């Protein structure tokens, strides 16, 4: 017995460790059995697994989630703290969800049918995270304040109907509007809208800024851009401003990084205190873009943005640069106190050859001497040399470097550029709501940024054509990589579109891929409906030129005809369109969406100089 115990304490030989162990497999699990006797059971199991995965994938896609992700909040939220939206779901026993409209860093926007009011609405569902909740509560406060001060909706501000909390998510219910102004540009092949329609937009925007500047409001929007200005009705030129998620009141400025880069004012770029004048700067940039089809200042980053501004407007006044904390990031100071643009950015990443300061004249950008941008408006009524000079002078006053001298809304409204406009063309009545809930799988009319087969996009321009141009980000960049994969309320009430892509080329490639895939998987009826939709939109654009004209010319002006310059070959038009598209691609490549960047990065950092 002692020897036996000694043997058990001896180490196990190495060859014994690797000795094969005999095992027996369950006969029912043997591959041969599964592929012979149990073949039917095997196929049944495969089908069950396949369809279970397919169903789960479809549910995720309907909620805007292409890949299956980890769930939070008892399975209601995804890993990004977004509520998982599913078509047909009832929210608060009142709103029937139709589909996802937009998605961004703030959360998501969906179309829904209000069973109580019998109308369609847009619901902005905020992320289930404190930083986003706090910012959304500020937005609610400002919207309620504005709506109370404008009960009749005369000042072009979106209406907040109500707000509530659902499954730990703050939900904001807005009136349902139509396309945003970027969609409008896209439907003109980025050739821009007429000067007459641009005037209508300008007058409404100045009126809205005048309203916001009232002493009892003092609200700075902080993120004006085409994506945040929506048409109330695709057949009218009436607009409303949306997305007050970055807004603040005078004296309560807590952000130091605001405004989408293309529309960012010099005082924000330079890091000096700002006020409501930054919105007027953004408006000047927007109006030029609406008429030319291209951003006036399309910087790839803040350094590039400032240099592009200098190309047009020259070097900022010395008294501004002397008091600007970030002046040395863009300019070198000589011993005599004068400033010159830096050759490269401080990090050395930007090294470009820029035009001399002030050499790229706004006069030439607008084509004042050549019949408009690219000569495309030559001979058109309402586009005379005098009309362009008035427009140019107004824009230059909006783009004044010194915010103290920048034109104020009430002065702008008295400018000779503005003329009386047709009431019908500035109607702010939203699209008429359907009085019954949609059928299963149907699309709701009049949704943000989405065309319907029954109505086109109002451009006020007979020369405009419809096109599926590139998507872009909504633009509050942090100059750091992020996903504009738009989104926003660009097609929604917030400003960016869920379906934005990081580059125009990718956007066009994906669009083409979707088109090719659709042609092989859908029936001919669906393709026919798509072609009809495009034809109807194009026809509507051509039929509604007169709506953009002023009252004093409406009776005399007919739809403008193309000049010989405009009636050039299709090859020439394609070349121009490609150049504009390349410009948009460049814009997409470098401009990061505010709505898709972390809220804590862009909204939660206090600033002692109150510069966003």
Catalytic pick among 77, 82, 223, 591: 223
CATH 3.30.200.20 domain locations along the chain: 76-176
Q: How many CB atoms lie within 10 A of CB 592?
A: 25
Closest of 176, 192, 71 to residue 128, by C-alpha: 71
Query: Cα separation of 254 and 248, whole Å?
Result: 8
**223 has catalytic annotation:** yes
List all residues 6 or more positions away from 528 whose beta carbon is below 8 Å from its beta carbon: none
Q: What is the CATH number of domain 76-176?
A: 3.30.200.20
Which letter, b or e, does each residue of 65-104 get, where b requires 16 or more Cβ atoms within 10 Å of its Cβ?
beeeeeebeeeebbeebbbbbbbebebeebbbbbbbbbbb
Position 71 scores a pLDDT of 79
Going by the DSSP 8-state scheme, the letter that residue 363 receives in this structure is: H
Q: How many CB atoms lie within 10 A of CB 568?
A: 14
Position 539 scores a pLDDT of 41
Query: Cα separation of 370 and 597, whole Å?
Result: 41
> Contact, 60 vs 104, CB < 8 A?
no
Position 77 scores a pLDDT of 92
Position 27 scores a pLDDT of 74
Q: What is the 3-state secondary structure (H, E, C) of 475-508?
A: CCCCCCCCCCCCCCCCCCCCCCCCCCCCCHHHHH
Position 154 scores a pLDDT of 95
Q: Which residues of the chain have pLDDT under 50?
A: 422-425, 433-456, 462-581, 583-584, 586-612
List all residues 6 or more positions away from 612 whose beta carbon is below 8 Å from its beta carbon: 222, 253, 255, 256, 257, 258, 259, 268, 274
Going by the DSSP 8-state scheme, the letter that residue 439 receives in this structure is: P
* The two structure tokens encoding residue 221: 């929007």
List all residues 6 or more positions away from 255 whose beta carbon is below 8 Å from its beta carbon: 222, 246, 248, 602, 603, 605, 606, 607, 611, 612
Position 598 scores a pLDDT of 31
| 211-to-104, 256, 264 alpha-carbon distances in Å | 28, 24, 21
CATH 1.10.510.10 domain locations along the chain: 177-420
Environment class of residue 148 by beta-carbon count within 10 Å: exposed (0-12), middle (13-18) or buried (19+)?
exposed
> Contact, 250 vs 222, CB < 8 A?
no
> What architecture is domain 177-420?
Orthogonal Bundle (1.10)
* The two structure tokens encoding residue 177: 């509007």
Strands 339-341 and 107-114: unpaired
* The two structure tokens encoding residue 88: 């047909």
Query: Cα separation of 611 and 582, whole Å?
Result: 33
The total number of residues shown for the chain amounts to: 612
Query: Cα separation of 141 and 135, whole Å?
Result: 10
**pTM assigned to the model:** 0.65
């Amino acid at each position: 017995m002692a020897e036996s115990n000694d043997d058990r304490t001896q180490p196990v030989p190495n060859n014994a460790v690797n000795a094969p162990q005999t095992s027996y497999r369950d006969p029912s699990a043997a591959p041969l059995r599964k592929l012979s006797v149990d073949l039917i059971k095997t196929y049944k199991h495969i089908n069950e697994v396949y369809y279970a995965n397919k169903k789960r994938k479809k549910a995720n896609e309907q909620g805007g989630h292409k890949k299956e992700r980890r769930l939070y909040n008892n399975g209601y939220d995804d890993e990004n703290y977004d509520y998982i939206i599913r078509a047909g779901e009832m929210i608060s026993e009142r709103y029937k969800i139709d589909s996802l409209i937009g998605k961004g860093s703030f959360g998501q926007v969906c179309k829904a049918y209000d069973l109580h009011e019998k109308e369609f609405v847009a619901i902005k569902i905020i992320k289930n995270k404190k930083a986003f909740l706090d910012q959304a509560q500020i937005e609610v406060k400002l919207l309620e304040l504005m709506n109370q001060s404008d009960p009749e909706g005369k000042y072009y501000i979106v209406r907040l109907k109500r707000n509530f909390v659902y499954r730990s998510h703050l939900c904001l219910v807005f009136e349902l509007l139509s396309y945003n102004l970027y969609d409008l540009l896209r439907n003109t092949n980025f050739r821009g809208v007429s000067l007459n329609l641009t005037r209508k937009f300008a007058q409404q925007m100045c009126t809205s800024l005048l309203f916001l500047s009232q002493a009892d409001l003092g609200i700075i929007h902080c993120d004006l851009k085409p994506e945040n200005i929506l048409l109330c009705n695709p057949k009218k030129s009436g607009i409303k401003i949306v997305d007050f998620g970055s807004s603040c009141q005078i004296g309560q400025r807590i952000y130091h990084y605001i405004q989408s880069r293309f529309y960012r004012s010099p005082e924000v770029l330079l890091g000096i205190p700002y006020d409501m004048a930054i919105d007027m700067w953004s408006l000047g940039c927007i109006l030029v873009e609406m008429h030319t089809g291209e951003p006036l200042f399309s910087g790839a980053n803040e350094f590039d943005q400032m240099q592009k501004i200098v190309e047009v407007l020259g070097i900022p006044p010395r008294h501004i640069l002397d008091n600007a904390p970030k002046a040395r990031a863009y300019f070198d100071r000589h011993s005599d106190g004068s400033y010159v643009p830096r050759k490269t950015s401080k990090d050395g990443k930007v090294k470009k050859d820029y035009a001399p300061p002030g050499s790229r004249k706004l006069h030439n950008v607008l084509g004042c001497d050549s019949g408009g941008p690219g000569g495309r408006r030559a001979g058109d009524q309402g586009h005379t040399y005098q009309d362009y000079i008035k427009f140019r002078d107004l824009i230059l006053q909006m783009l004044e470097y010194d915010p103290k001298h920048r034109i104020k809304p009430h002065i702008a409204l008295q400018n000779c550029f503005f003329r009386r406009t047709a009431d019908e063309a500035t109607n702010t009545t939203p699209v008429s709501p359907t009085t019954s809930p949609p059928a299963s799988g149907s699309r709701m009319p009049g949704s943000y940024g989405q065309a319907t087969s029954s109505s086109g996009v109002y451009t006020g321009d007979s020369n405009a054509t419809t096109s599926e141009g590139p998507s872009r980000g909504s633009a509050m960049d942090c100059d750091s990589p992020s996903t504009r994969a738009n989104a926003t309320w660009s097609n929604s009430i917030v400003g960016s579109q869920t379906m934005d892509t990081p580059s125009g080329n990718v956007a066009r490639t994906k669009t083409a891929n979707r088109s090719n895939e659709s042609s092989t998987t859908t029936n001919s009826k669906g393709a026919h409906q798509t072609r009809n939709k495009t034809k109807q939109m194009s026809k509507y654009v051509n039929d509604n030129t007169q709506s953009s004209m002023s009252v004093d010319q409406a009776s005399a002006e007919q739809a403008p005809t193309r000049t010989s310059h405009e009636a050039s070959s299709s090859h020439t038009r394609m070349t121009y369109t490609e150049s504009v598209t390349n410009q948009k691609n460049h814009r997409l490549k470098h401009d990061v969406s505010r709505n898709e960047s972390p809220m804590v990065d862009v909204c939660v950092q206090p600033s002692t100089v109150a510069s966003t």
